[in-house]
């Protein structure tokens, strides 16, 4: 994550606005909340020219780092055509609103996707500052979807990320 300098008097606000927007990514499985995110970003500074926002209409479990993904919007680039989002190699911070769906309500397609996402994953949680306090957990196949959401999110974070 790039931090902005304290003194920005000699450099335009537009430049910093672009720098900030280039570091923010969003994903929602539904198009309406994704649209609201784009509108909210544009409303922060109506005078700023915004060529691109990194908001995708996509299932969070389909997110893979370092790849280019279609945004999911019909055609919102100034030149027309599909817009795409190039994902970074990792994220510094993730803020999420996981789905709270009970395991019993998941369809077979969702169960298969989740299984592929976390297959072979071992979760190591560090408790406190001691490296001796590492515990490994086995995730039950009966876990609700938000458990897998957090596991997938951890895989997207850089070492030391939040």
Look at residue 139 and tell me if it is in a domain. Answer: yes
Distance CA 128, CA 18 (A): 38
Look at residue 45 and tell me if it is in a domain. Answer: yes
Q: Is the pLDDT of residue 8 over 60?
A: no
Look at residue 77 and tell me if it is in a domain. Answer: yes
Look at residue 96 and tell me if it is in a domain. Answer: no
Alpha-carbon distance values, 27 to 59, 72, 101, 117, 138 (Å): 7, 10, 18, 17, 28
Per DSSP, the three-state class of 59 is coil
16-46 per-position pLDDT tens digit: 777 888 888 899 988 899 889 888 888 887 7
Q: Is the pLDDT of residue 94 over 80?
A: yes
Look at residue 119 and tell me if it is in a domain. Answer: yes
Of the chain, the percentage scoring pLDDT greater than 90 comes to 2
Verify that 78 and 107 share a domain, yes or no: no
Of the two residues 82 and 66, the one the predictor is more confident about is: 66
Q: Which long-range contacts (CB under 8 A, 24 or more apart) does 44-50 make?
A: 45/13, 45/17, 48/13, 48/14, 48/17, 49/14, 50/17, 50/21
105-154 per-position pLDDT tens digit: 878 877 777 777 666 555 555 545 555 545 556 667 677 888 888 888 88
Look at residue 123 and tell me if it is in a domain. Answer: yes
pTM above 0.75, yes or no: no
Q: Which of 34, 120, 115, 162 is nearest to 147 (CA)?
A: 115
Q: Which pair of structure tokens corresponds to residue 46? A: 């109506």
Instruction: For residue 105, give every residue at least 6 positions away whose Cβ sits within 8 Å of its Cβ, in sequence order, or none.
Output: none
Structural domain harbouring 151? 103-156
Verify that 35 and 81 share a domain, yes or no: yes
Mean pLDDT, range 58-69, rounded to an integer:
81
> End of a domain among 29, 54, 86?
86
Residue positions counted in the chain? 162
Note the pLDDT of residue 73.
Answer: 57
Note the pLDDT of residue 97.
Answer: 87
């Amino acid at each position: 994550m790039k931090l902005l300098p304290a003194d920005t008097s000699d450099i335009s606000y537009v430049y910093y606005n672009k720098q900030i927007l280039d570091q923010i990514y969003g994903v929602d499985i539904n198009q309406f909340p994704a649209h609201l995110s784009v509108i909210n970003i544009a409303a922060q500074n109506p005078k700023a020219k915004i060529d691109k926002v990194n908001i995708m209409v996509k299932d969070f479990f389909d997110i893979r780092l370092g790849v280019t993904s279609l945004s999911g919007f019909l055609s919102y680039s100034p030149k027309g055509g599909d817009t795409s989002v190039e994902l970074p190699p990792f994220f510094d911070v993730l803020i999420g609103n996981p789905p709270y769906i009970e395991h019993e309500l998941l369809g077979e397609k969702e169960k298969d996707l989740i299984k592929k996402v976390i297959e072979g994953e071992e979760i190591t949680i560090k408790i406190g500052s001691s490296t001796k306090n590492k515990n490994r957990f086995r995730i039950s196949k009966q876990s609700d979807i938000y458990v897998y959401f957090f596991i997938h999110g951890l895989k997207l974070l850089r070492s030391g990320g939040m």
